[in-house]
Amino acid sequence: GGDIPGGGRYFALVTAPASAVTRFLGACRGEVVAWSYFLKMLWDFGRIAYVRTRMNLRSFITGFAGVSGHEALTAYRCNTCEEVVERTCGKGNYTALLGKVAIITGASNGLGLENARCMMKYGCHVVWAVRSPDKAAAALQRLEEREGKLQGKATILKVELSDLRTIKPFVKDFLALGLPLHYLICNAGIMAPTEWLPSPQGFELMFATNNLSHFLMTELLMPKMKETGKTSEVRIVVLSSVAGACCLNINPEKLPCPKEEYHEFAEYGVTKALDCLHAQHLQRHHGSDNIVACAVHPGIIGTGLGQGNIGLTSLLYGGMFTAIFRKSVAKGAATTLHCALSPEVSAQVKSGASFFYNCAP
C-alpha cells in the first residue's frame, strides 16, 4: 500500500504521451471538420443554382486568392494596431488625440477592444457602442487594471445592432453628450449562422446586423459628422472582409435573402460586399463635406466571430489550409486605425481607393 519509488516520474512519462496523443487526435478531428466544410462549400458553389448567382467557384477562388493571397505576401508591411497609432501620433505622445471623439461598435471585445484601447491610450474619447454595457464595463476595468488609467475617456452606450429600434435611442444618447464626432468605426458584425434567422423586424439576421443597422446609424449621425467636418476631417471606417471580394453578384430584389435561398457563406459574402458599397456611397455623397470613408479587410483573426458555425470556424481558425493567412488581434486591428488616422489615406481615397488591407489599399 506504500508509494511506488519514482512514481511521480512514472506518472509524468505515462501521461505526457497520452496528452500529446489526445491533442493530436483533437487536431485531426478539427482538420476533418474543416476540410469537410470546405469541400461542401465548393460543391455548393458549383452545383446549387441560387448559391451560384451570388458566389460561384471562380469568384470564390479568385476573390480569396486575390485578397488573402496578396495579403499573405504583403504581411511584412502590416504593423500592430499600437504601432500604427505611434506612427501617426508620435510614440509616447499620449495627448495627440485629445479633443477627438470616436464611436466604435462592438468595442468590448476583439478588434473593437484593441481599437478602443489604442485610441484611448493616445487621448481619444471613445464611445463604446455595445450590446452589453455590463460586459463592456468589465472589459474596460480589466483594460485599466492591465494598462493603468488611459489618457482618453470611455463612454459606454447600449445598442443592439440586430434590432433597428435601438439605433435611434443610441444616436439620441450620443447627441445628448454634446460631443463632435471625428471617427465612426463600424466594427461589429456577425458571420454565417448555419440557418436563416430573423431579426426582430423580420430581416435576415446578418443583413440586419452587418448592413441595415450601420447604414441607419451612419445616416442619423451624418449631421453631426458634417458639423464636425467644418473644422476637422472626419473618417468613417466600415469593416468588410475577403468574403466580400468573393461575392459574384448582388440582386437587390433578393435583399434581404429569402429563407429558402439562404446559404451562410454566400450570404455573408453579400453582406460584406454591401459594406464596401456603403463606404463607396458615403465617399461619393459626402466626400465634399470633409468626410473620408473606406472599407477594410482586417484578416482572418480568431476573435469569436462565427461562433456556432463549427465547420467554418474550424476552417478559418484551426485548419492548416488557412494558417498562413491568420493574424493576431493586434495586427488584425491595425488597418482599421490606419484608415482612421493615417494622413495618406485621405488622398488615396479621394484618388479612388476604397478597400484596404495590411495598412494599404
- Write out the catalytic residue numbers: 262
Backbone φ and ψ of 106, nearest 5°: 70, 40
C-beta neighbour count of 215 within 10 angstroms = 19
- Please compute Rg for the chain using Cα positions: 22
